[in-house]
Amino acid sequence: MRPTSVVAAAFAFLFAAAAMLGAQAATNKPTPALEDFQRAVAGINDYQFQIVTHETSDDGKNVEDHVYLFSYRKPTDAQMKVLAGRDKGGAATWHGGDTVVGHHGGFSSFVHLTRNIHDRDATSLRGDVLISDAYDVIIKHFEETPGTLSEAPGPVIDSQATSAVTLAVTDPKANANVSKDVLYLSSLSHLPLGRDQYVGPLMVKTEKFRDIKTNVGLKDSDFSG
């Protein structure tokens, strides 16, 4: 499963998304790169990519590194598989609603568990849920989390130029203590290639999105097991 367990990475993902969807919308004006991201997503029905993550607790004492395979099909199918790191071989799947079904890696992989999205076993080290990196959820987070958006040239990632869209959060305590969230959008595809999150000066989570595939025709069987 994911960070705490595969059901953890997966479940955590949903909890954060549910909180975002229920929050009152802020009025952050999208930057040009974020608008390009929105337009690109409008033409995508399904997608799949690897997520290489490094995340820490607020004090930096607890650390987790993982590689996941994330699959998503509009409107409500998502799956996270753990390719490397703790609970390698685990997976979790969401089909909308407030539950996730998953299994741990290793000898107990045949045991499938159903968890409420609020279950602690379903969250990552920093409390992320399974769909936290779904494109629509990212857009909603940057537009509706109270704060200020800015844009600047970003680093070259996997030979692609990027734009760095930064969200300076007004109230970090209402955002898992994250005070700055930086999204690196490809200047070519306009899709995310990376994301960094900070608690004050400390980077507490970094993600790299690799091997991105869009409109691949994911089937029901890709969201089972």
pLDDT at res. 118: 65
Structure tokens that stand for 80 in this block: 């996270």
Evaluate if residue 113 carries a pLDDT over 70: yes
Structure tokens that stand for 47 in this block: 């997608």
C-alpha closest to that of 172 among 195, 149, 200: 200
In the sheet with 202-214, reading across from the earlier edge strand, the strands are 113-116, 99-103, 91-94, 77-84, 63-73, 46-56, 202-214, 192-199, 180-186, 162-169, 147-153
Structure tokens that stand for 222 in this block: 């890709």
Which residue ranges form the domains of the chain, and what is each CATH number? 6-216 (2.50.20.10)
Is the distance from CB of 162 to CB of 194 less than 8 angstroms? yes
pLDDT at res. 119: 73
pLDDT at res. 2: 53
pLDDT at res. 13: 46
pLDDT at res. 98: 86
Digit-coded pLDDT (tens) for 31-68: 999 999 999 999 999 999 999 999 999 999 999 999 99
Specify the pTM.
Answer: 0.86
**DSSP one-letter string for 55-106:** EE-TTS-SEEEEEEEEEEETTTEEEEEEEESTTTT-EEEE-STTEEEEE-SG
Evaluate if residue 9 carries a pLDDT over 90: no
pLDDT at res. 185: 98
User: How many beta carbons lie within 10 A of that of residue 149, not counting itself?
Assistant: 19
pLDDT average, residue stretch 175-194: 98
Mention every residue, 6+ apart, whose C-beta is less than 8 A from residue 92: 1, 2, 6, 7, 8, 9, 10, 11, 79, 80, 100, 101, 102, 103, 122, 130
pLDDT at res. 23: 43
Evaluate if residue 153 carries a pLDDT over 90: yes
Interatomic CA distance for residues 86 and 82, integer angstroms: 8
pLDDT at res. 124: 83
C-alpha closest to that of 76 among 60, 103, 99: 99
Evaluate if residue 26 carries a pLDDT over 90: no
Computed over every residue of the chain, the mean pLDDT equals 87
**Alpha carbon 62 to chain centroid, angstroms:** 20
pLDDT at res. 141: 97
Interatomic CA distance for residues 223 and 225, integer angstroms: 7
The count of residues in the chain is 225
pLDDT average, residue stretch 78-82: 94
